Amino acid sequence: MTYNALVLILSLYNDKEDHVPMTYYCYGDKKFSGRQTNEAATKLTLSECDIKKLVCITSKETLTEIKNDLGDLTTYDYFKKEIADFCTEHNISMPEFVQIRDFCEADNNYKPTTKLLDDVLKELKDYNVYIDTTGGGRDASVLIQLLVKYMENFGRRPQRAWYSSFKDKNIHDVTDSYRVMDLIDAMGTFNTTGISKGLAELAAVKNKALNDAINAIDKFSDEIHLNKIDNIEETLTEMNNCFNKVIGSDDPAELNNTEYMFKAIIPELQKGLFPNNKADIPDIIDWCIRNNMLQQSLTIATERIPRYLFEDMGLVKCIGDKAALLKEKKTYEDEYYHLFYTKMLTATDIFRAEANNKKKEFIQQYLNGKLKNNREFWKEFETLTYGLPKRNLDHKTIFNHLCEKGSSAFGKRIDVIKSLIGSGANTYEKLADAYANHKKKELADLLGYPELARKSENDSLNNKFLLVDSMDSCKQNDFEIAEGQLELFKKIAVGYLYIKAKRNQVNHSGDDTDMRNIQMILEKYGYSAQPDSITDNIQKFTSLLRANP
């Protein structure tokens, strides 16, 4: 069985003034008298609740100073006598008085606050707690607030709190004031961690607009922490619409203090989540980053940015047979993720089986110096090598030479190739065979391009970085980039692949994506390959998403 306890800070009776019993009113008709500050609120609590224990925080003065106006009693003795008389008069069981001194008896110095709070908490264990906030010195309100927070950390939230106002002679229920503090804490927790636990309980609202807003916040919180973001756009839109309804509504008289405060917090919360008053994926990614939710930001970016590029930004569109492209989509994949990551950013075209014989014949003749003036072969070459990754001479690769148009520098080009891959027809034949027959590792070894020799398939992340870097046209097979926006697309695609790689590393410790292999590409497009640059890189990425193609 749980019992009730009342806790208060006892005020020192001031005998310098002509005190007579004052009458305090509550609920309009109930009235309680008292000469000492704490009397009225204590009597109200005793009359309404079955209080078994009264925890009285006392100072040295309340225990030792004799007050003539109180019949030569100390403040504490007088207060205890008045409460006993009140209980007898109203047939109320006298509560157990527990005295908690705010000073150390050994040296009369103030007791450390943490020790004082701990002493109080021990007495309140397993009790429902009620508080009289009227008494104490000027710092009493701070002590009471600390006490409330301290108790809440151990699962004991105050049931009711009272304050006797000397000014208007009323006893006010101030429980809402502590609920408001709890609400502010809860909203702060949500705004910095995305966790909304307990928000609905704290607000306890009856107002429909506020209740809908709380439900929308809880739904969003659950989805991002479970990484369940299939419908995140709809959830965000719903939450923003609820915020707008709250902000645009009148202040009905029935709102309590907690509800008023919740309504006041909503505009600031909306400003952080929806700075442009609309559901926007880049804004939510930034919000997650600001609030140290790295995994959530990586997940949302990986799963939802492809749709954003197609639908919201209009940077990319599918010009091929969409149904055919989606035929191999896994059931759990978003269709735009499949189109963008699996299809558009595939590197398999580099090694596709079709036209193998033409490729082999072409490379053999090219390397044997027979294509110097053959325009048909150069035209065929451009078709066959569409989308082929290429890098510049500084990084010792031959792909850029293979992709150069014209033949004026043909002899010099052959010399460069020989210096890179060695001399002799045997090497050339190996190169041609590896290129034509999908011998990826052999090709990588021959070209001195170790990152192509990864054990994963041709559409590995590393190859996708290389593919994006090689793009030189807005038309990419079944997809088309907005006119004039190729460079913007490449910056965004490189950023996306970086985020994808980081997400893999977070979710799968065994992921072997090595950022050092793509350092040049990252830096070329404004990103950093340094391990501690992830936050800056994501923010650069989201800033690019706000461009207007």
Instruction: Write the pLDDT tens digit of every residue in 446-473.
Output: 444 433 333 333 346 777 887 788 788 8
Q: Output 434 or 234, whichever has higher pLDDT.
A: 234
Q: Give yes or no for a contact between 38 and 83, defined as CB atoms under 8 angstroms apart.
A: no
Residue 323: predicted pLDDT: 92
Sign of CA dihedral 504, 505, 506, 508: positive
Q: Which string of DSSP letters, residue by residue, matches 50-78? A: -EEEEEEEE-HHHHH-EEGGGTSEEHHHH
Confidence class for position 204, pLDDT limits 50, 70, 90: low
Q: Give yes or no for a contact between 459 and 347, defined as CB atoms under 8 angstroms apart.
A: yes
Arithmetic mean of pLDDT, 156-179: 80
Q: Counting runs of H as helices and runs of E as strands, what totals does the chain give? A: 24, 13
Strands (E), 256-374: 316-318
Instruction: Give the distance, in angstroms, between the CA of residue 107 and the centroid of all CA atoms in the same chain.
Output: 50
Tens-place pLDDT, residues 324-366: 999 989 888 899 999 999 899 874 443 333 334 444 454 545 4
Residue 261: predicted pLDDT: 79
Q: Give yes or no for a contact between 270 and 187, defined as CB atoms under 8 angstroms apart.
A: no
d(CA 139, CA 142): 5
Residue 349, judged by CB atoms within 10 A of its CB (0-12, 13-18, 19+), counts as middle
Q: Give yes or no for a contact between 67 and 18, defined as CB atoms under 8 angstroms apart.
A: no
Instruction: Give the distance, in angstroms, between the CA of residue 482 and the centroid of all CA atoms in the same chain.
Output: 32
Residue 257: predicted pLDDT: 72
d(CA 299, CA 277): 23
For the record, the structure tokens of 208 come out as 């429909």
Nearest to 299 by CA among 492, 493, 503, 461: 503
* Phi-psi domain of 330 (left: phi exceeds 0; alpha: psi -120 through 50; beta: other): beta
Query: Mapping DSSP to helix (H, G, I), strand (E, B) and coil, where does residue 195 land?
Result: coil
Tens-place pLDDT, residues 132-143: 888 876 566 777
Q: Give yes or no for a contact between 515 and 501, defined as CB atoms under 8 angstroms apart.
A: yes
Please, how many CA atoms are within 13 Å of residue 246, restricted to the half-sphere of its CB? Answer: 30
Tens-place pLDDT, residues 22-34: 777 676 678 888 8
- SS3 sequence, 374-427? CHHHHHHHHHHCCCCCCCCHHHCCCHHHHHCCCCCCHHHHHHHHHHHHCCCHHH
| Sole residue written with tokens 């609590």 | 45
Residue 462: predicted pLDDT: 73
Strands (E), 102-156: 127-132
d(CA 535, CA 18): 67
Residue 405: predicted pLDDT: 33
Its pTM stands at: 0.63
Give the amino acid at 375: R
In angstroms, how far is the first alpha carbon of the chain from the final one? 68
DSSP state of 339: I
Nearest to 148 by CA among 172, 171, 174, 168: 174
Arithmetic mean of pLDDT, 433-437: 50
Name the phi and psi angles at 244, rounded to 5: -65, -35
